[in-house]
Amino acid sequence: MSKKVVTFLDEDHVLRIVWLGLNDAAPGGAQEIRDSVAPEAVDPAALTGRAGGLHPSDGYDIRYGADARQSLKDASVVVLRRGAVTAEMIASAPNLRLIQRLGARSDGIDLAAAKAANVAVSCLPRRTLAYTAEHAILLMMALAKRLLPADKVTRSGDYDPRLVKPVNDIAYNWPGLTDIGGLYGRTLGIVGLGEVGALVVERARAFDMKIIYSNRTQLPAERERVLSVSYRSFDGLLAESDFVSVHASNIGPNDRLLGRLAFNAMKRTTFFINTSRGRLVDEDALYEALTNGVIAGAGLDVHRVEPRPARDRFAELPNVVMTPHLAGGSRLGLIDEAGAIFDNMRAAALGQAPPHGRILP
């Protein structure tokens, strides 16, 4: 490459971790790296060391924020998460050798133009997103199978032994828990079918669930066919679903997207799952729905206020399962994601194919 210019197209909290790894001398950078994974502990060198050979002191010009948006003409590597790379942008960057997306989707990247310009494209699947999808399924199963009440009564022995009649030393459901179900054959409604939503769909299919979705924009028919999903209006999805799982974008118009009207539109047997962002939900409305039997239960990994205050009103509800915003796994996983990007950048500098991600075109 004639110039070593790395341009970040998005200002994003995850990409900022990558930027901090490259900018080992950034003022306050070491503390920001520590803060980004707190309360887990990390040595900042675990990140900056992974970027060895790619720092400004090695001749790299790292552009992030306003400077990056001004021009791409010198870029040799473009890094993005949610933005787009058009044919015009590629044509304006004669030194470009790598388009690196953090995420498995290639949406918004002109692959034909990249191929014509001999520019490698890496779309890096995120383990943290796969974990989040798994967690959504976990919360569904915990609610449907009444995991917390079952665990509690098994530990406490708080049941009437006079009602239990073991046969050959086998006593099915000896506490007599009711409304025990599962996922098989149930309808899952995905609100916001982006990358995480699609990962949830893939996993839900293993349980033979019927899957419907609501989106700002309906997916192309071929994408719907591949995912085996059917489009519904937002209201239609709420009325039909046995499980409603939220994966919508954390943008202003979606603030309190799920409120009183939404919960009232659901069936009384519906379970509500949120592994996206707490601000998408009106928690007053959710509490009313849970306590008044408007919906059957909720699984919450994200919360309107984080950390959630200890022993708040939701903690007293038996039909709620809560976790402390850990669906994506350890925050240290960001170090590995950044490390894969650094490896791809080194390969691009040597004219080699990127070793990580979905390599296109």
Active site residues: 277, 306, 325
For residue 237, how many C-alpha atoms fall within 13 Å in the half-sphere facing its CB? 24
Strand partners, 358: 123
Q: Where are the beta strands (DSSP E) in the chain?
A: 5-8, 61-63, 77-80, 98-102, 120-124, 187-191, 210-214, 230-231, 243-246, 271-274, 297-300, 320-322, 358-360
Q: How many residues does the chain have?
A: 361
What's the CA gap between 63 and 68, in Å, rounded? 5
Contact 345, 59 (CB under 8 A): no
Angle among Cα 93, 99, 102 to the nearest 5 degrees reads 145
Nearest Cα residue to 112 out of 96, 133, 90, 130: 90
Q: Supply the Cα-derived Rg of the chain in whole angstroms.
A: 24
